[in-house]
Structure 1
């Protein structure tokens, strides 16, 4: 099935019309991006995409997937890839958010290979699919958790952000254990973030987890215990 070229053209021309060349270099520098920016901040970009997505409703899953892939793979500016991610989250396609899309999201995660892409896909796409089909998706994420690719591993660690009582602690533990002693910043930060988020729901579990894994980095521990009353004391005691 072919991509919807009218939607893609509307996105590209709309972003070009909103472009601010004066803002683009700073945006690119902040994100350390090899791909250039148009210089379109999120609020005007979101308004543009809301209108375009309403005007160009995709008729079926195949067209949806092909259009997302084309926007992503053929992007010349980073905002075009943001548009691809936003398209995957549009409410019109909510019913298609199931394990069949994991291959698409995995491709975007691995080829995007940076936190601004990966974090949105992990928490807002992969995570909900996991909660909707745990028997199918959990084995996939357990494999990602021990994959050599940094971004698959970060996805496995942070995909349960916001799950609250629905958090699969066995999966969370598995994902963290493999990367607990890693020196890579994005893994250490991801571990701390995942634990800090779950501490809002189960502070005792998180405190016990941190105590049980002394190999956790200082960054991971500080993030995990940030909002726990015993957190700073626990960190200083080690």
Structure 2
């Protein structure tokens, strides 16, 4: 699997696109220049792993030993295999969040890895999100804020409130944007609640406020 990923990315490399992608993402790690359609095609061609330990080993190796950003994109995509999802993966997703430390990784992990685990195992994940909401790492905090994207009527309003309120005063752009995003999405289900929430918090940043009320 690991060899197939690396070889497949090298075959699809585009040096011109690589520089453009690195500049856009403001990435210290270089790109090979393999855009999403090429990565999707590569994923479809990869051999299937049916052993969970081998699957996790492949993902961790691709992530930890990555020399190009696309290796981590592939590892992230592979990490979503529904056959193997369980709450014991949380420490691994946490490692990806902290070492990835950028929105292109963190947003997918938060909404498509941590979020489903929150739904299936709230007794374990909910306390962790409350802890992350006040963590020193801004990406853990962003994860706690946006992990319920798409929950709609199943949103844990108390958890959302706690995670947002813990970060209302933070000047970080990604936290402010994340707060606005989480509220904007929930406004599609509970517009009145979101409007009241925003009005009750004069200290909410203009960015968060603007994003939250964007479609109201």
TM-score band, normalised by shorter chain: over 0.9
Report the Cα distance in structure 2 between the residues aligned to 1:131 and 1:148, rounded to whole angstroms.
25
2:209 is aligned with 1:227: no
Superposition deviation, residue 61 in structure 1 = 2.1
Q: Which of 36, 47, 57 is the matching residue for 2:30?
A: 36
Q: Which of 170, 188, 191 is the matching residue for 2:158?
A: 170
Report the Cα distance in structure 2 between the residues aligned to 1:67 and 1:74, rounded to whole angstroms.
11
CA deviation map 1:64-111 (0-9, x unaligned): 22111101000010000000001012xxx3132221111110000000
Q: Which of 179, 199, 213 is the matching residue for 2:201?
A: 213
Normalized against structure 1, the TM-score is what? 0.89
Cα contact 1:65–1:104 (8 A) shared by 2: no
Normalized against structure 2, the TM-score is what? 0.98
Report the Cα distance in structure 2 between the residues aligned to 1:207 and 1:158, rounded to whole angstroms.
18
Q: Secondary structure at the match of 1:35?
A: coil
Report the Cα distance in structure 2 between the residues aligned to 1:62 and 1:171, rounded to whole angstroms.
33
Q: Secondary structure at the match of 1:215?
A: coil
Superposition deviation, residue 181 in structure 1 = 1.1
Q: Which runs of structure 2 are paired with 1:178-193 in the superposition (5 Å)?
A: 178-193=166-181
Cα contact 1:158–1:190 (8 A) shared by 2: yes
Q: Secondary structure at the match of 1:187?
A: helix
Please tell me whether Structure 1 or Structure 2 has the larger radius of gyration of its CA atoms: 1
2:139 is aligned with 1:151: yes
Query: Which residue of 1 is the match for residue 183 of structure 2?
Result: 195
Cα contact 1:180–1:188 (8 A) shared by 2: yes
2:33 is aligned with 1:45: no
Q: Which runs of 4+ in 1 moved over 6 A?
A: none
Gaps of 5+ in 1: 1-6, 229-238
Q: How many residues align?
A: 216
2:50 is aligned with 1:63: no
CA deviation map 1:119-144 (0-9, x unaligned): 01101111011011111110011101
Q: Which of 93, 102, 108 is the matching residue for 2:96?
A: 108
Superposition deviation, residue 57 in structure 1 = 2.0
Gaps of 5+ in 2: none
2:73 is aligned with 1:82: yes
Root-mean-square deviation (CA, aligned residues, Å) is 0.8
Superposition deviation, residue 59 in structure 1 = 2.7
2:109 is aligned with 1:121: yes
Cα contact 1:37–1:79 (8 A) shared by 2: yes
Query: Which residue of 1 is the match for residue 6 of structure 2?
Result: 12
